[in-house]
Amino acid sequence: MFSYNFHWNQAFKALPQMLDGALVTLQIALLSMAIGLVVALALTLFRLSGNRILNGFATVWVEIARNTPALFQIYMAHFGLGSFGIHLSPYTALLVGIAFNNAGYLAENFRGALKAIPETQTRAGRSLGMTPLQAFRYIVMPQMLRIAFLPATNQMVWAILMTSLGVTVGMNTDLAGVTQALNAVSFRTFEFFALAAVIYYVIAKAVTLAARLAATRMFRY
Amino acid sequence: MIEIENVRKSFGQLEVLKGINLTVQKGEVLTIIGGSGSGKSTLLTCINGLETIDAGRIVVDGTDVHAKGTDLNKLRRKLGIVFQQFNAFPHLTVLENVMLAPVKVLGQSKAEAEAMAVKQLTHVGLGDKLKVYPSRMSGGQQQRMAIARALAMSPAYMLFDEVTSALDPQLVGEVLDTLRMLASEGMTMICVTHEMKFAREVSDRVAFFHKGVMAEIAPPEELFGAPKDPELKTFLAATH
Ligand SMILES: Nc1ncnc2c1ncn2[C@@H]1O[C@H](COP(=O)(O)OP(=O)(O)OP(=O)(O)O)[C@@H](O)[C@H]1O
Ligand SMILES: [Mg+2]
């Protein structure tokens, strides 16, 4: 028989605490995207550089980021680096792990986007006296970022959801961490996690919507 | 002055330029005609150093294009080139397309570059399209924008590679008119073209390329009126 009694009151009382956690979650996701974006641009330049070592470095990064579990990547940032004497706090380890993952996926998005930009665009820039870097910066990159923008919002949503893996490295201030802690003292597992899921959902949807809006304002051509 | 001395160029086994000798004087309009694959485009891209050469020299105003120490980015400022594909930068407005290189390459101020861009765009008949994105324009308009973009760098030479070949027939005229205007203003130009009537009108000299060789070069009346090279005769017969 169905014998679970719902106690939503307890969950709702904890809502402010959980929303504080949600802010931390959003903060990590945004920071990890910002870092991921910068690193992905660097990896893209490495791949375009024609230098075998740089290209190899970028390829290995992208391969690991995309073909190993995110959980593993966050573990490596925490325990892996820890065994080399680099001790990151759960917050930093989570941020580094997600940023690593973001960079790999974004770099791959960029690679796909670059395929859609004809080589003649670069040639036109070079013909006007631009250096290869200038042609990339002013002609290719803006077009690449536009093409990669919507796939990148998917990665942002994925980054928000990945933050929940932080509990495995002792993260207790983000939404998943707070929820976990509340659950541990109250055992209202279903209520707390259902509420957390709703909050994750709302954040993810809001981010997607905001990105769509931003895209229509930014890309007018 | 552009001096081309015994230039050879191969792509793998295929020799595309087989010892080209050609000098283009300041103020001259040279058109290059010839069949597909005869090496016309390759020669233009060798002149501005987009392609390397295997032998010979190309000297632009005393600068050896393919010498080791040559600053190609600097050299290209004086060699405007317009291609068959319009190569508009789609993310920039017409005005921004034309201003980009003067600002980023020449280091001009925005105001200076804008004044020049407006001048050049007005010159090619696009003064009312400044804020428009290229995707909103016809091929002829995009091609004229590409010409204005090259002219905004104040080049000493303009190279045109079949700039009307990708255009709908009714749009060819407006682009050729722009080239005629530049020629009449004294711009030094090398035009690769399939438009024989245009070549006859504007050229000081016409060069006929065949299989990597410059088979004949002469003033238009002579080249079209009394062609000597048998391949040229065949070529002209086929184009009429
Ligand atoms: N980057 C390249 N790699 C290999 N082969 C090339 C390359 N560019 C040109 N070719 C070859 O060199 C030959 C000459 O090409 P080019 O484009 O100079 O001819 P063209 O006279 O401009 O012809 P068209 O009238 O068709 O434009 C062609 O056979 C072409 O396939
Ligand atoms: Mg060609």
Query: Look-up: residue for tokens 């380890």?
Result: A93
The predicted structure's pLDDT at residue B228: 94
CA A216 – CA A196 distance, rounded (Å): 31
Strand partners, B21: none
Pick A7 or B1 by higher pLDDT. Answer: B1
CB atoms within 10 A of CB A35: 17
Residue A221, SS3 per DSSP: coil
Q: What is the ipTM of this complex?
A: 0.92
| Closest approach of B170 to chain A, Cα-based (Å) | 25
> Which DSSP string corresponds to B79-143?
EEEE-SS----TTS-HHHHHHHHHHHTS---HHHHHHHHHHHHHHTT-TT-TT--GGGS-HHHHH
Q: Is B73 on the interface with A (CB under 8 A)?
A: yes
The predicted structure's pLDDT at residue A2: 65
| Chain A residue with the nearest C-alpha to that of B155 | A128
Contact: B133, A221; criterion CB under 8 Å: yes
The mean pLDDT of B97-108, rounded to a whole number, is 97
* Terminal-residue alpha carbon distance, chain B: 33
Q: Which residues of A touch B92 (CB under 8 A)?
A: 221
DSSP state of B226: S
Q: What is the mean pLDDT of chain A?
A: 93
Q: Is A130 on the interface with B (CB under 8 A)?
A: yes
The closest alpha carbon to A57, from A4, A103, A119, belongs to: A103
Q: What are phi and psi of B14, to 5 degrees?
A: -85, 115
Top CATH class, B29-37+74-239:
alpha beta
Q: Which ligand sits nearest to residue B34's alpha carbon? A: 1
The mean pLDDT of B46-54, rounded to a whole number, is 96
Those residues whose C-beta lies under 8 Å from the C-beta of residue A15, and which sit 6 or more positions away, are: A195
CA A132 – CA A123 distance, rounded (Å): 9
Is the pLDDT at A7 greater than 90, yes or no? no
Q: Domains in chain A, please, with CATH? A: 9-218 (1.10.3720.10)
Report the predicted TM-score, pTM, of the whole model to 2 decimal places: 0.89
Q: Is B50 on the interface with A (CB under 8 A)?
A: yes
Q: Which ligand sits nearest to residue A119's alpha carbon? A: 1
Q: Is B228 on the interface with A (CB under 8 A)?
A: no
Pick B63 or A185 by higher pLDDT. Answer: B63
Residues lining ligand 1, Cβ inside 6 A: B 11, 14, 16, 34, 36-42
Q: How do the domains of chain B map onto residue ranges?
A: 29-37+74-239
CB atoms within 10 A of CB A16: 9
**Ligand 2 midpoint to CA B213 (Å):** 15
Q: Which residues of A touch B76 (CB under 8 A)?
A: 126-129
CA dihedral of residues B56, B60, B63, B68 (deg, nearest 10): -50
DSSP state of B39: S
Q: Is A127 on the interface with B (CB under 8 A)?
A: yes
Query: Look-up: residue for tokens 């209202």?
Result: A188
User: Per-residue pLDDT tens for B74-100?
Assistant: 999 999 999 999 999 999 999 999 999
Q: Which residues of B touch A221 (CB under 8 A)?
A: 90-92, 133-135
The amino acid sitting at A138 is Y
Count CA atoms within 13 Å of residue B235 on its CB side: 24
Those residues whose C-beta lies under 8 Å from the C-beta of residue B143, and which sit 6 or more positions away, are: B82, B86, B163, B164, B166, B167, B175
Is the pLDDT at B5 greater than 80, yes or no? yes
Which residues 79-108 on chain A approach chain B with CB closer than 8 angstroms?
none
Confidence of residue B239 (pLDDT cuts 50, 70, 90): confident
| Chain A residue with the nearest C-alpha to that of B84 | A120
Contact: B104, A126; criterion CB under 8 Å: no
Pick A188 or A22 by higher pLDDT. Answer: A22
Residue A83, SS3 per DSSP: coil
Q: Which residues of A touch B74 (CB under 8 A)?
A: 129
What tokens appear for A161 in the block? 């959801």
User: Per-residue pLDDT tens for A24-79?
Assistant: 999 999 999 999 999 999 999 999 999 999 999 999 999 999 999 999 999 999 99
The predicted structure's pLDDT at residue A11: 79
CA B98 – CA B86 distance, rounded (Å): 13
Which of A127, A137, A149 is best to mutate for the B interface (most B CBs within 10 A)?
A127
In order of A55, A106, A144, A163, the CA distances from A150 in angstroms are 26, 11, 11, 21
Contact: A128, B87; criterion CB under 8 Å: no
The mean pLDDT of B166-184, rounded to a whole number, is 91
Confidence of residue B163 (pLDDT cuts 50, 70, 90): very high
Strand partners, B158: B80, B189
Size of interface A-B (CB pairs under 8 A): 63
CA A77 – CA A87 distance, rounded (Å): 9
Is the pLDDT at B157 greater than 90, yes or no? yes
Is the pLDDT at A1 greater than 60, yes or no? no
CB atoms within 10 A of CB B26: 11
